[in-house]
Structure 1
Amino acid sequence: MSTIAESFEKVSSQIKEACDLAKRPVESVQLLAVSKTRSADEVREMAALGQQAFGENYLQESLDKIVATEDLSLEWHFIGPIQSNKTKPIAENFSWVHSVDRLKIAERLSAQRPYYADDLNICLQVNSSREESKSGCLPEDALALALKMSALPRVKLRGLMAIPEATDDLAKQHQQFREVRELFETIKAEIPEIDTLSMGMSDDLIPAVEEGATIVRIGTALFGPRNYNQ
């Protein structure tokens, strides 16, 4: 068994373990394989194991990869920070965008989504830990933003995305994810159709799933450490 196959099996087992702990069906959590800095061949190897959804942070790299694997009909998610001048290729080439953090970006994605494509699934990114280095709206602004985004054509607001503060403290991990879930539930009371909580990465996927994540974004645990100098 290859290293990627072993890692895929391990991560899948962790998701099942977390779902069992939370008394949730394993089908309620989607694994998003974060393939930034990875080659098209590595994506192909992961896809051969049954993985269909891949997440990318860097636009040009991801567009090259999408073209190189177009025969596989994969589902591509953009999860990185978005500059206003980059919205058009994102709107044209992705099925999901997790990192929509302001109305202007949502409006541009709405206007630039091709007429022949399905509505673009978007998540409102929330800076739940209020870190200056991170993108995302403040929690107190999320409901008003979500209401405006949910009214836009050609995009479909699916829920929230968050990257809480990194910590090894399991109790704090749970607390941070719980706060995001509670915000999600507040917004869902006003927008019942939202259904997605994108949270949890390689180091904290189990508490994220226990606290309600429906998409976990996993890179290092699947592909190994990244080499950003390649």
Structure 2
Amino acid sequence: MLHILFFLPLILTSTHVIAQDFCVANLEGVQTPSGFACKMESEVAPDDFVFSGLGIEGNTSNIVEAAVTTAFVEQYPGVNGLGISAARLDLAPGGVVPMHTHPAATELLYVVHGRITAGFISSSNAVYLKRLRRGDIMVFPRGLLHFQINAGKRPALAIASFNSPIPGLQILESALFANDLPSALVEKTTFLDYAQVKKLKALLGGTG
């Protein structure tokens, strides 16, 4: 009897909890580490829950011969607060998505067609490398450096999913060479010679 009396207030209280079905992002507001503020439910429309961009082939006419089309919260407000997002990866023959990390999400990559060599490096510097074919999936743990390369002679396509609507992205090469970090410091911290640093900065638009 005492056990029943103890749990009764919990049962009664739980009936007054209001569950929020969704929190479509108000992109005009400020983004915080926990996401965007919610739109008023009266302003939410079906289109907020639909994103058609992953059906469009990306433009791979660039230095890396690859294109990533993201369906993160900024492009897809309906995923705000739901712990999920996606992206499309197009790789021309020889194309590469350079070493990068997603600080806020684990990535699951599904190969739609083509052959992709992909891998990641653990915090103990162990390398996990695999050639993927159509239908394969590979997981890249949160925050670890990873990459994808077209390993075939035809274009490759993959779809990535993330367990965050805001996975974050930091590309290693851009972080080192596409900003104004002084070349002398880059040389010292990467063991590259000064000429190599200046060449890479010029290639990627960096200064310093």
Normalising by the smaller structure, the TM-score range is under 0.3
Instruction: Select the structure of larger CA radius of gyration.
Output: 2
Q: Which has the higher helix share?
A: 1
TM-score normalised according to structure 1 size = 0.26
Q: Highest relative contact order (Cα 8 Å, sep 6+), 1 or 2?
A: 1
